[in-house]
Amino acid sequence: MNPSYSWQPLGALLVAKGLLTENQLQWALSEQQRTGRLVGEILVESGTISAFTLARALTEQHGIELQSPKPEPESEAPAPATWRPLGKLLVEDGFLTRDELKQALLRQQESGGRRKLGEILVAEGFLTGVDLARALAKQNGVTLEKSEELETVVRPVVNELFVYQVFEISYEPHYKAHEVLYESASFLEAVDFAAEHIEDADPEGLEIQRSNGGTRETVWTYSDTRAAAAAASRRGLTQTFGFDPTLWGGPAPA
């Protein structure tokens, strides 16, 4: 099963970096809702941003900077795509072996979530920066041409302020947050893990909490009960969950 993912966190990232306006983001999200296509695919095909700009913004969130001394690499015309969690995509498309991904995730766990997964993969030789960019672009519905002219700069980002932690939640007989399933300095990585866990484990509920020392706040939630209710009403799925959890299995409006 595959989620039809709206990637509002991606849109917020692009707006924060000045690569999109709020109006452009809202238009792209409306198109995503209307067509079921991925937001990155819509933005690149419409010419709002280039494939390289999209890939570069995403890789920077993983602590990897792409530099191109020549004009930006071309992108192939995007084909209809279904969003996949990054870990699954990396393994299924041959970028990594499952064992290599497990090793990188273990190193991230050993860092207390402070190191970002992409930075670990590139810095420790599991993956090239260009292949990370290609995988991230593909995750968002865009094919980035591989270019030998791209230079990769690893810029480890140790986030001393926030760590995003994913918890499984139970609601009966009362609310309870269980042990931490995953933690990362990147909100995008935490959402990516949460989506994959929903697909694989079908939990009763999930939360992402942002912690800063002794301060903690919930920044993302999912529950199967709310998903079922939203599926019945077909209203507000993207706003409620950040993706449509009832649309596993193929592209559809989210």
Tell me: the pLDDT tens digits for 1-35? Answer: 333 333 456 777 888 888 899 999 899 888 888 88
Confidence check: pLDDT of 224 > 60: yes
Res 77: pLDDT: 47
- Same domain assignment for residues 78 and 188: no
Q: Where among 154, 179, 201 does a domain terminate?
A: 154
Q: Are 37 and 99 in a shared domain?
A: yes
Counting DSSP H helices and E strands in the chain, the numbers are 11, 10
Same-domain check for residues 23 and 122: yes
Most confident of 55-64, 124-133, 225-234: 124-133
Instruction: For residues 26 and 150, state if they share a domain.
Output: yes
Asked if the model's pLDDT at residue 100 lies above 50, the reply is: yes
Mean pLDDT, residues 50-62 taken together = 86
Domain with 95 in it: 4-154
Over 50: is that where the pLDDT of 230 sits?
A: yes
Clarify whether residues 189 and 138 are in a common domain. Answer: no
pLDDT score for 32: 84
Q: Which of these three, 96, 127, 154, is where a domain ends?
A: 154
Distance CA 222, CA 122 (A): 31
Contact 207, 177 (CB under 8 A): yes
* Same domain membership, residue 140 and residue 36: yes
Specify if 38 maps to a domain: yes
How is 162-207 classified by DSSP, letter by letter? Answer: -EEEEEEEE-SSS-EEEEEEEEES-HHHHHHHHHHHHHHH--SEEE
Q: What is the pLDDT of residue 253?
A: 32
CA 30 to CA 54: how far, in whole Å? 19
- Asked whether residue 16 is assigned to any structural domain, the reply reads yes
State the total domains in the chain. Answer: 2
- Same domain? 128 vs 15: yes
Q: Within this chain, do residues 78 and 186 fall inside the same structural domain, yes or no?
A: no
188 backbone dihedrals φ, ψ, rounded to 5°: -60, -40
Asked if the model's pLDDT at residue 145 lies above 70, the reply is yes
Q: Let me know whether 149 and 211 are in one domain.
A: no
Whole-angstrom Cα distance, residue 238 to residue 29?
Answer: 9
**What value does the mean pLDDT take over residues 123-141?**
90
Q: How confident is the model at residue 48 (pLDDT cuts 50, 70, 90)?
A: very high
- The pTM of this model reads 0.72
Higher pLDDT, 244 or 152: 152
User: 71 and 193 in one domain?
Assistant: no
Confidence band for 231, pLDDT divided at 50, 70 and 90? low
